Amino acid sequence: MGEIKKARNFREYKVWQDAVAFASEVYKVTAEMPWFEKKGLCDQLQRAVVSISSNIAEGAAKPSDTEFAHFLDMALGSAFEVETQILIAKNIGYIKNANDEDNGGVTYEALLSELHDIEKQLNGLINSVRNSYR
């Protein structure tokens, strides 16, 4: 089991900061979705995107690296869930491609790029935390 440590300051993690900014951006995108999606894809996407930064914050409060890594794993799982959901939103026309005419607003490619950056940061942090207790 990992060494017991004092709580980490989740606010100092760039990945947490980026995940919060990304969630705010996704909320703006979902605000543009049709009213009938508010209890469907929109709601699911909002819950999953908020879960990324929330799991980072919750895990940072855990006393062991093992527990922290577990919550980071859940954050990464939520990021993959969001990736799936924004693909579905793009496929049904709620999010535009960069090469679409009238692609005003955020594009699928821009969202995906930001999300991939968050996923890479999470993978790096997970590896770093896990290496500290192996």
Domain ranges of the chain: 10-131
Statement: residue 35 has pLDDT above 90: no
Q: Which pTM does this prediction carry?
A: 0.90
- Of the candidates 45, 55, 46, 47, the residue with the CA atom closest to the CA atom of residue 15: 55
Give the domain 10-131 fold: de novo design (two linked rop proteins) (1.20.1440)
Q: Which long-range contacts (CB under 8 A, 24 or more apart) does 30-37 make?
A: 32/94, 32/105, 33/89, 33/94, 34/94, 37/94
pLDDT in tens, 83-120: 999 999 999 999 998 887 665 678 999 999 999 999 99
Helix (H) or strand (E) holding 111: helix 108-131
- Tokens representing 64 are 């062991």
Q: How many other CB atoms sit within 10 Å of the CB of residue 47?
A: 14
